[in-house]
Amino acid sequence: NDYSGVAGPLVPPPAGAWRWLWQWRETAAFLASHGSGRGFYHFVRTRYLRHQSPCFRTAVLGRVHVFLSASHPAASHLLTAQPPHFAKRYARTAADLLGAHSILCCTSHAHHRHARRALATTLFAAPSTAAFAAAFDRLATDLIIRHWTIRHQVVVLDAALEITYRAICEMLVGRGGAGRLAPLQSDVFAVTQAMLALPLRWVPGTRFRRGLAARKRIMAALREEMAARRHHQHLHDDDLLSLLMQRRQLGHPDALTEEQIQDNMLTLIIAGQVTTATAITWMVKYLSDNRLIQDKLRAEAFGLELKGDYSLTLQDLNGMDYGYKAVKESLRMATIVSWFPRVALKDCQVAGFHIKKDWIVNIDARSLHYDPAVFDNPTVFDPSRFNGEGEGDDVKLGRAQQQGRRLLVFGAGGRTCLGMNLAKIMMLIFLHRLLTNFRWEMADDDPSLEKWAMFPRLKNGCPILLTPIHDSS
Ligand code: HEM
């Protein structure tokens, strides 16, 4: 699918009454691919093939959607230049579930800038990143060394969801507050599941209604936590909630309101937990399919010569050169967030295509990550494609540099993922602890994807058979 540079016509839909039929069929095909084991991207791939263009038009649930391959230069312009006539747009259901103030959903550039500055300056300061790595290492060690040692078979996705949830909650509300959020993991899951559901808010028992009810319980818990902190004047420095509440008390220019804080706490959990757990799961799967790479990574991990009951630091993670490449390659192959939606605020041209006001342009990262013109042998898991990426100069880019720079796993421009360093830290730590304690292989090779999942993931959750290192070496 090398479509870069090609600007074919944006095939118009049939006219008149046939258009309704076409819209209905497109929606039905989209929902059918979601509800099948092939995953929702099947819908997109088949349309690229049909239209033989980097851009095609479809209609889902009454909205016109344009898919634009991120291989096309116009796509990176849309992401990085953030032209004022485009705004980020998730489905209405996402805004209902995450809240009107969620950084993921706010469409106004000014509101977004304010929320992003408030969150980025508090959350991602260097000391909090080191503390986060230490907390995640404690959780991963507890899981892999203490719990997995007595098991022969484990399901990676379940375990990864559990520890990413706990790590993110601890970062947001501290270890004490995480106790209040711990019982709400199933509610967070219900909100995630509802994000792609049909918005049947008045029909009892629907996924969307369950998601809204779950959001209410999470918001109530966050309100209680904030009230308790205010009551006891209990605003420590070391978690995000305290920092945001302090700023509010002090009237800081980057302060968020109570509602903005609550919506964004939920957003960070949703944006960070399932994405990272899914990425960890795919990484484990790719490495069970590529045992030589698994062994090479293990050699690097043992070569770090960390002694005794060590805890991993950011400096240790910096030494995991091949590990880092494996993380990047897993992210490329899995492309957890397949496309990034933007809405046109007026009629305009994109890559020679006429786009009308209110159409959604989805910038498709997956087609870029599997484009052979950009990534050599894109269906092969090969961390060494990034060898030599940090070397050379900008004028004459080597192939590895080109491949590294075109990666779009965390988006680009002003809406780039706020948690990308945290996600990479979690993946590297998990990888290191698994490699240094076990060899593993898949216990069930069924490639089917989970139906109706927000991000593509294996239906079986990636069950693996573990062999402790000291038994097999
Ligand atoms: C492997 C894991 C992750 C992946 C693949 C991922 C991917 C992405 C992508 C592609 C975007 C941009 C979407 C767009 O432009 O439309 C994004 C945005 C975002 N991500 Fe992540 N993410 C991950 C983990 C995390 C974590 C751990 C957090 C925080 C705890 C997080 C918080 C956010 C936030 C707040 C945004 C919105 C940024 C904005 O709009 O300014 N993500 N993520």
Burial category of 237 from C-beta neighbours within 10 Å (exposed 0-12, middle 13-18, buried 19 and up):
exposed
- Residue 86 Cβ inside 6 Å of ligand 1? The answer reads no
**pLDDT recorded at residue 9:** 52
Q: Which residues contact 430 (CB under 8 A, 6 or more apart)?
A: 140, 144, 160, 163, 280, 283
| Structure tokens given for 437 | 């304690």
CB atoms within 10 A of CB 85: 13
> Are 71 and 80 a contacting pair, CB within 8 Å?
no
Nearest ligand 1 atom, CA 79: 15
Specify the 3-state DSSP secondary structure of 14: coil
Residue ranges in 319-406 assigned as alpha helix (H) = 321-334, 365-369, 399-406
Question: Per-residue pLDDT for the chain (473 aa), expressed as one digit of tens each?
Answer: 333 344 455 667 777 778 888 899 999 999 899 888 888 899 999 998 888 888 899 999 889 999 999 999 899 889 998 888 898 887 778 889 999 999 998 878 888 999 999 999 887 776 789 999 999 999 999 999 989 988 899 999 999 999 999 999 999 998 888 888 888 999 999 999 898 778 888 888 899 999 999 999 999 999 999 998 888 776 666 789 988 998 998 899 889 999 999 999 999 999 999 999 999 999 999 999 999 999 999 999 999 988 778 899 999 999 999 999 999 999 999 999 999 999 999 999 888 888 999 999 999 999 999 999 999 999 999 999 998 776 555 455 677 777 778 899 999 999 999 999 999 999 999 999 999 999 999 999 999 999 888 899 999 999 999 999 975 44
Does 106 appear as a known binding residue?
A: no
pLDDT at 393: 52
The conformation of residue 57, written as its DSSP 8-state character, comes to E
Three-state DSSP class for residue 284: helix
Q: Is 4 left (phi over 0), alpha (psi -120 to 50) or beta?
A: beta
> CA distances (Å), 18 to each of 14, 25, 54, 333, in order?
6, 10, 25, 38
> In the prediction, which pLDDT does 235 show?
65
Asked if residue 71 lies in contact with residue 364, where contact means CB atoms within 8 angstroms, the answer is no
Question: For residue 125, how far is its CA from the centre of ligand 1 (angstroms)?
Answer: 17
CA-based nearest residue to 64, from 133, 11, 117: 11
C-alpha to C-alpha distance for 60 and 285, rounded to whole angstroms: 32
- 319 CA to centre of ligand 1 in angstroms: 25
Nearest to 41 by CA among 95, 1, 14, 94: 1
CB of 275 shorter than 6 A to ligand 1: yes
256 lines ligand 1 (CB under 6 A): no
Whole-model pTM over 0.90: yes
